[in-house]
Amino acid sequence: MVGFPKNFAWGAATSGPQSEGNFKKKHQNVFDYWYAKDPKAFYAGVGPDTASNFYNDYREDIPLMRQAGIKVLRTSIQWSRLIADFEKCSVDEEAVAFYNDMIDTLLENGITPYLNLCHFDMPVELQHKYGGFESKHVTDLFAGYAKRCFELFGDRVDHWFTFNEPKVILDGGYLYQFHYPLKVDGPLAVQVAYNLNLASAKAIAEFRKLYGNDGTKKIGTILNLTPAYAASESKADQAAAEFAELWANKMFLDPAVLGEFPSKLVEILEKDGVLWEATPEELALIKQETVDLLGINFYHPFRVKAPEISAKSLQDWMPDIYFDDYEMPGRVMNVDKGWEIYPEALYDIALNIRDNYHNIEWFVSENGMGVSREERFMDEHGMVCDDYRIEFLKEHLRALHRGITAGSNCHGYFVWTGIDCWSWQNAYRNRYGLIRDEIHTQTKTLKKSGYWFAKVSAQNGFE
């Protein structure tokens, strides 16, 4: 038996914009807007309008998730749903009623809510008016929205998170054009990275005013950590991996946990003339308002090699002037997604947190396998027999178990995701859920992995 510590949290993760649907929202977020403007940019023309219909189905969906062994659910509040006036932070009462009843329904079904405040879903009004997190004013508005959430729902929610994968906001919106606003601007991405860290610290400060720091309620952030591995032991490849690690992981991990940006990264950005604009007061706030716990999303490693073209070449500044992607021969792949499968990285993450980040409390906040055309794996009763997903989860849980045995302070494992949900430009191309959603009828049924996860959750481990 691969057994886990007592009270280990077996959960699942999803988000408001990917599950709720657009029903009765008074504002659009950036994805709502982008889809309305250019539906062909999304796989099969499927947008976020309905998603998995959680807004209408949550009273039926939540017991189904409990049946799949999900004891903790991480989801997010939509800023664009909850807030009626972004400047005044007044709330939409219908949205408040929805989130109140959703939280109560989770608790009635024995599911602990973990709530996240931003899952890529910047209100488009703030994006167009201020540039979203390009603006420090928006970091103040975000803190005001966070305060509202704490006041409204903090009596029943003990675990809060400021952001989900802030680095993806840079990658998608400011570097590689897979999220709105579809910009390509490396120096601007650097400033947005800083502002995201500042916004997180401001939200944490509001949390501390209400709940202090005694640990009865906790606040953290959710980071997608992709350990950077060099293609070889050569000095050039090692240097590429060092920068990739600074950019991809430490730029958010260090300020969140240690309260300061890595000095080597600051030195490089300053040398290149692209360092963020910061004030001593802001840096002091980031220093003070660190997190209580970390959620870590893990899907794939980050393999790099020395760039083919020298970083000294005349070119626009982008972070990848310092590294090229490296494809390791013989790697195991999730071909549908294009991601390498390497569970050992989860063990490396566990030891990194133990050794370099005060062994802070953390949990795997997302891990899972997205596969296309899952209909091909249906049995005669219509159940998706996703043995590939079960094997993927087992291998990652074994690696995590080794990390915990070595002393890493991990308290839970959340699969992505409970119910198949809408995934940005990929829409429903790749399915990740323990529960299948037939999106044309919104009929939801457990997959084989759902029954397996229920057993693992019940016995706190697996054979």
Active-site residues, by number, are 165, 366
Helix, strand, coil shares of the chain, percent, nearest 5, are: 45, 20, 35
Count the neighbouring beta carbons within 10 Å of the beta carbon of residue 439: 17
Question: What gap in Å lies between CA 279 and CA 359, rounded to an integer?
Answer: 30
What the block records as the tokens of 255 is 């300020």
Which of 296, 366, 372 minimizes the C-alpha distance to 334? 372
| Cα 452 to chain centroid, rounded | 24
Which residues, 6+ apart, have CB-to-CB distance to 71 below 8 Å?
Answer: 9, 10, 11, 110, 111, 112, 457
Question: What gap in Å lies between CA 70 and CA 66, rounded to an integer?
Answer: 5
| Cα 120 to chain centroid, rounded | 9
């309905």: which residue's tokens? 50
Strand 72-76 versus strand 112-116 pairing type: parallel
- The secondary element (H helix, E strand) that includes residue 142 is helix 136-153
